[in-house]
Amino acid sequence: MAKTSWLEIILEVESEMAEPVAEVFSRYAPGGVVIESVVDARGDKPIQMDVYNPVRVICYLKYDEKVEDTRLKLEESLWYLSRIRPLPEPIYQQVYEEDWANAWKDHFHPIKIGRNLLVSPAWNIDNLDGRTQIIIDPGMAFGTGVHPSTQLCLELIEDLLDEQFQSKHRPPGTVVPGDYDVIDIGCGSGILAIAALKVGAGRAFCVDIDPTAVEVARENAQINGVAERMLVSEGSLDELKALYTGFDKNRLIMANILAPVLIKLLDQGLADLVQPASFLVLSGVIADQKDQILRAADQKGLFISEKRTCGDWVALCAQKRS
């Protein structure tokens, strides 16, 4: 029987360009897109990511009678993207199906993020520094901690929850670990919800419109020992509202998507989930889209309590206006 083969397309870019390139790839590669870190020759020790670290964006096209036409269309889309910011030439190679699932694993190494987080691939879980470890096998879902928007979210999760759980400037017993529920809209690999649970949140409710991401997030929850506290379902905001029952809980709500989708979600009622003691983390925002998000949040009675940037990417923490 003939082996099934694929055309592997690789583009090595700075982290901040990973998402635009991945968006182009996803138009032509329905099987998904992989974003992996590029580690230099110093070895496989944990790396501290920043916006200038290079990453590889990879997709696979099935070798069939349409592959050449699809490749040309993909190259045309990359050319238009390169008018905004120059891109290198893609690398092409043929791989066979049995090698596909493991071909990218050599380049996903542990990544240090924030003050005490460590994102580790499932096949390299050494944690010599004793950091809070999030173990991820992304499969074909987004979310390895490489992209700046994910890093910004993880930093905010760590700081927001640490502040609530450990602050010395509030009466003892006001908030304890587990008081916060996590809501993750567009959860991808589940990395954000898993991190929040490991930092100290009580339960996580996650949705994603991609059924592959739902399965991957469930598997990662199992790997990290949080599956009993992490409910993952296919859908978006409407499905989440039907799923979520923690009406009396403080909430950490996360949406790491893209600015137009965030604005649409705010219009559809995302702000209604934000209670007085809740936080809404909005990420996936390019700097020149920030004002659009600010206006949309303000119209829904929210104010921005914190803003973080990494290169051209912005993450915002919103709260309900008194």
Q: CA torsion angle for 38, 42, 47, 51 (degrees, to 10)?
A: -50
Same fold flag, 5-108 and 141-320: no
Q: 4-8, 229-233, 242-246, 270-274 — which is least confidently predicted?
A: 242-246
C-alpha–C-alpha distance, residues 259 and 315, integer Å? 11
Per-residue pLDDT, 20? 86
Helices (H), the chain: 18-28, 67-84, 97-100, 148-166, 191-199, 211-223, 237-243, 259-267, 290-299
CA angle 298, 150, 185 (to 5 degrees): 60
Q: 14 by DSSP, 3-state: which? A: strand
Per CATH, domain 141-320 is 3.40.50.150: yes
C-alpha–C-alpha distance, residues 218 and 228, integer Å? 10
Q: What SS3 string covers 80-145?
A: HHHHHCCCCCCEEEEEEHHHHCCCCHHHCCCEEECCCEEEEECCCCCCCCCCEEEEECCCCCCCCC
The pair of structure tokens assigned to 11 is: 């583009």
State yes or no: pLDDT of 125 exceeds 60.
yes
Per-residue pLDDT, 178? 67
User: Structural domain boundaries of the chain?
Assistant: 5-108, 141-320
Per-residue pLDDT, 41? 34
Per-residue pLDDT, 43? 46
Q: What is the pLDDT of residues 150-172, one digit of tens each?
A: 899 999 999 998 877 655 344 44
Mean pLDDT computed over every residue of the chain? 83
What is the percent of the chain where pLDDT is above 90?
A: 42
The pair of structure tokens assigned to 52 is: 């200038």
Q: What is the pLDDT of residues 18-41, one digit of tens each?
A: 888 988 898 888 767 877 766 543
pLDDT band per the 50, 70, 90 thresholds, residue 42:
very low
Phi, psi of 111 (to 5 degrees): -130, 125
Residue type, 313: W
C-alpha–C-alpha distance, residues 230 and 98, integer Å? 31
pLDDT band per the 50, 70, 90 thresholds, residue 213:
confident
Looking at the domain 5-108, which fold is it?
Alpha-Beta Plaits (3.30.70)
pTM for the full predicted model? 0.74
